[in-house]
Structure 1
Amino acid sequence: MKIKSYLYSQLSLSFLPIFLGLYFITSIIFLVKIASLTSVITIDGFELFKLYSYTIPKIIFFTVPISFFISLVITLAKLSSEYELIVITSFGLNPMKILKIFFPTTLVLSLALVVISVGLIPKTDYLMDTFLAKKKKEANFNIKASEFGQKFGDWLIYIDKKDGKKYENIKLFKTEKGLDQFILANEAVLNNKDGELSFRLINGKAFYIADDELNQIDYKTMDINDSIVNKKGFIFTDAINYWKYNLTRGSDIDDFTFFILTSLFPLISLFLVIAFGYYNPRYEKNRSIGLSLVAVVIYYVITKYLTKNVDLHSLYIAPTLWIIGTYYLYTKTTKKLY
């Protein structure tokens, strides 16, 4: 029990610096991408933080598997360099028993990554796309005070005064099927709901003028929409329906398989942790970090190739090939010595 606690304490000392470093670097990359959006839309500090929060699941997904795998290797390599693994082995903890100690935590981590990647990332992507569509629609809408010839949807619009999203003395006019429609309002507020703009007119009159009659309506509030949007395709409700909809239509299959295979990377690479972490410092050099980085690159290249070419079949082909290959490497290096 004490050895188990000691191993996890050493793992935490390795994991936190690596994870925080990668998290910081990845956050900077995403923040730069968000900042580039300011050339198209205007966002304040709160909205910047909101957009960044939508990227957090992706940042965690991209950083945690690599951080955890490298941390495991570094932990065992450090113990090897200080001859502690030799002492631990002398107490009866061979490499497979040490692997079993780390297995439950690695399993929970991989399952959590599956939930984050398959469950949270589609939701946050949808929220970000909705937010950006809303802001872009608002950016394209720029009615100026005291100017003629401006339009809001099908309406010609003229305003006397503008303050942010609040307007004063508004006139709206349009002709439709031989009927002239003229609306006056003392005040108006622009609303933007998921990229659909509408004016809420306050305290005014509406006139409907035909060839033989004139109708007048006095109102306290009236909503005028920019346009009626017919949404087609899938409306996001939850991750299960999202993937069911896309997979049955053959879209986003490579994303789905990549998410799962990347999430499983720490779990199916445990034999590599033993193979890279165990070495005799008297006769061998510590190459654990270099070997770990090479393994990460190879796995991601294989994963990308299989997800692009064999679709859902990569979910069992990639783990099977990886486990067989890593176990073979383990038997040829660590197993025969320890």
Structure 2
Amino acid sequence: MNRLRSYIISNLSSLFLSIFMPLFTIASVIFLIKLATYTAVIQLSIWEMAKLYFFVLPEILFYTLPVTFFIASTLTLFKLSNDNEIVVLFSLGIKPAFILKTLLRPAILLSLVLSIDFFILFPHATVLSSNFVSYKKSEAKFNLAASEFGNSFGDWLLYLGKKNLDGTYSQVFLFNKKKKEEILISAQKAEIINDSGILRLKLSDGEGYGYSTESFTQMNFTTMLINDTMKTSLTTYRAPLDYWLSDDRADSKRHMFITDTLLSLFPIISLFLVASIGIVHARHQKSGVYLFIFATIILYYGLTLGLQDILVYYTIPTIAISWTLLSYFIYRKTIVNRF
């Protein structure tokens, strides 16, 4: 029995990888195209694009693994049926339940991985991705152009003479007009420092003047730092439970929670359908296995998305129980009664 179990798992593994890699590649390309649209708003280096890709990786895996397992396990049984190996097994007294138990272990393992993915990894990656994009958008608002008027730094009007090769600026002038005083600062050199969302303008070797109707002041400095906190809406994140229970984007997270929970259960509650579609008698049956696989996936996803607005959280037990019972009924009619 152990050899037979290993043989079935071996066939499942090879088919799983051959199906997963194309699906994963296609999903990755789609998400990369989506990420590329950010470049219309913000500037991203290759490394920053890679970071954003890693942030969406849990989502890519989540939407490819359940489908891959269903297709691979069904085609595994279909291949064994076409090779007449399933018929031989049943002739030797091995029950269809043995095949289901063999597939149940990887199905449970995959469901656990998917649950950890969407409940723990997905919130963390989503918050990091959202904060990173928000930070880059705020950073993009601060674009300085040398030898041009109209630059600003917080409350300061800023003029930069030229940009040096090392990224610094020379011949820098800042002007700030307050209600009772006007301030003018000139410096030989300026450097922009970005420290976790806080922009600092570091001025070197300059002079500052402040004048009003009552007084005039002047100072010389070697180094001066002017801070400007960018207005960046960053999401706070402590634990996965805080993310799911927070009121921020509550409707979106509710739909996501329902959908992801049902997708996590899909490998387990569809095992009866896997056997019903994949196990055929090669001589006496014309199998539409690919049509049935496609129709099953579309139906499950359609019910998952379509019933959420009506049943809300009751969608999870409703679909899980009804899908399992319907699958078992089909399994009894097509497999148990025949084999």
User: Quick check: TM above 0.5?
Assistant: yes
1:290-301 map, 5 Å:
290-301=291-302
For 1:245 and 1:315, locate their aligned partners in 2 and report how far apart those are by CA, in whole Å: 21
1:109 Cα offset (Å): 0.6
Code of the aligned partner of 1:167: Y
**Match in the other structure for 1:179:** 181
For 1:129 and 1:194, locate their aligned partners in 2 and report how far apart those are by CA, in whole Å: 15
1:126-165 map, 5 Å:
126-163=127-164, 165=167
For 1:147 and 1:122, locate their aligned partners in 2 and report how far apart those are by CA, in whole Å: 43
Code of the aligned partner of 2:217: L
1:200 Cα offset (Å): 3.3
Q: SS of the counterpart of 2:227?
A: strand
Q: Is the 8 A contact 2:41 2:137 kept in 1?
A: yes
For 2:232 and 2:291, locate their aligned partners in 1 and report how far apart those are by CA, in whole Å: 54
**Match in the other structure for 1:201:** 203
**Match in the other structure for 2:219:** 216
1:205 Cα offset (Å): 4.3
**Match in the other structure for 2:171:** 169
Q: SS of the counterpart of 2:246?
A: helix
Bigger shift: 247-256 or 87-96? Answer: 247-256
Change (3 A) 1:230 1:78: closer
Code of the aligned partner of 1:169: Q
**Match in the other structure for 1:82:** 83
Bigger shift: 189-198 or 150-159? Answer: 189-198
Q: Is the 8 A contact 1:134 1:193 kept in 2?
A: no
Q: Is the 8 A contact 1:135 1:195 kept in 2?
A: no
1:240-319 map, 5 Å:
240-246=241-247, 252-319=253-320
**Match in the other structure for 1:123:** 124
1:18 Cα offset (Å): 0.7
Change (3 A) 1:332 1:51: same
1:59-78 map, 5 Å:
59-78=60-79
1:21-40 map, 5 Å:
21-40=22-41
1:140 Cα offset (Å): 3.1
1:10-25 map, 5 Å:
10-25=11-26
Alignment length (residue pairs): 336
For 1:294 and 1:6, locate their aligned partners in 2 and report how far apart those are by CA, in whole Å: 28
Change (3 A) 1:25 1:167: same
Does residue 1:323 correspond to 2:324, yes or no?
yes
Bigger shift: 248-257 or 29-38? Answer: 248-257
Q: Is the 8 A contact 2:202 2:223 kept in 1?
A: no
Code of the aligned partner of 2:215: D
Change (3 A) 1:225 1:280: same
Q: Could you tell me the percent identity over the aligned residues?
A: 33
Question: Which 5+ residue runs of structure 1 have no aligned equivalent?
Answer: none
Q: SS of the counterpart of 1:141?
A: coil
CA RMSD, 1 decimal = 2.4
Change (3 A) 1:85 1:47: same
For 1:45 and 1:14, locate their aligned partners in 2 and report how far apart those are by CA, in whole Å: 33
Bigger shift: 11-20 or 282-291? Answer: 282-291
TM-score (ref. length: structure 2): 0.90
Q: Is the 8 A contact 1:207 1:217 kept in 2?
A: no
Q: SS of the counterpart of 1:148?
A: coil
Q: Is the 8 A contact 1:197 1:226 kept in 2?
A: yes
Change (3 A) 1:299 1:47: same
For 1:134 and 1:249, locate their aligned partners in 2 and report how far apart those are by CA, in whole Å: 23
